Structure 1
């Protein structure tokens, strides 16, 4: 009988060693030097929350590292620049980073218009050198410094990354991914919350 228990235990151990374990989201650390879909997902979340301005290219470089550290600091997390379970949890929360707009330090009422890379006469790159896309906005740097993180209700989180000849004083241009979206937005009065 003892031989049977020993044999059963041995077979059980052999079977366990052949089991393939699948990692749950956050089980795998996402860090500097990595590439792939996991990094793209992190970059997209950081862009939507107004922390990242680079391309969604799936390459975890210095721009992604800085964005993650800024996001971690903003959420009271350990700012190690590594995306583990806790950072991933916060990245997935709607409105994480700053909570609701009433908690932001300063707000401005501005005249906003939409623009895109596909509008006549526009470049497809911002003044900061990034592709024009939703989440990047043109400002008067004398009013809102370039690099400032913003929140605009109805538009979302954004980064001041562009300037324009007609953008002076209380005017702001909100970038969109298509000409149609920019035209649909048109010109509106918006409240711009300063996140930084």
Structure 2
């Protein structure tokens, strides 16, 4: 009886550890080089996110075939952002980085950068 209880305890422990190790492997970022431009829209995104309610939100517009909506992305010089929007001219490895003001967006300009994408 003690052996069976011990075996069951070991099995439960192993099962509880497996999902966390899978999550670690799943959260490894995908690195890619993209063309990054900027925009300063203060309305709603394609996912319904409201910039007026969250003006300090860090978000990007993406081609969802390349970067899934909802993904967390690290952008050098900007920080972590969430892929919350799409755009008619955003095709392939192009992202639009959201800024609160037009002045900030113009200062960012357009640049090629290496980003890290963490799938949601």
TM-score (norm 1): 0.43
Q: How does 1:47-66 map to 2 (within 5 A)?
A: none
Higher strand proportion (structure 1 or 2):
2
- Please give the root-mean-square deviation of Cα atoms over the aligned residues, in Å: 1.8
Question: Which residue pairs with 1:105 in the alignment?
Answer: 29
Q: Which has the higher contact order (CA 8 A, sep 6+)?
A: 2
Shift of 1:153: 1.1
Partners in 2 of 1:148 and 1:188 — Cα distance?
Answer: 21
Q: Which runs of 5+ in 1 are unaligned?
A: 1-75, 77-102, 119-123
Partners in 1 of 2:32 and 2:76 — Cα distance?
Answer: 12
Say whether 1:136 aligns with 2:66: no
The verdict on how the C-alpha distance between 1:154 and 1:135 changes in structure 2, with shifts beyond 3 A counting, is: same
Q: How does 1:1-196 map to 2 (within 5 A)?
A: 104-117=28-41, 124-132=43-51, 133=55, 134-196=57-119
Q: Which runs of 5+ in 2 are unaligned?
A: 1-19, 21-26
Contact 1:104-1:193 within 8 A present in 2 as well: no
Partners in 2 of 1:126 and 1:182 — Cα distance?
Answer: 17
Partners in 2 of 1:105 and 1:130 — Cα distance?
Answer: 24
* Number of corresponding residues: 90
Shift of 1:130: 1.3
Partners in 2 of 1:111 and 1:104 — Cα distance?
Answer: 22
Partners in 2 of 1:148 and 1:128 — Cα distance?
Answer: 12
TM-score (norm 2): 0.69
Which structure 1 residue ranges, 4+ long, deviate > 4 Å from structure 2?
none
Shift of 1:104: 4.5
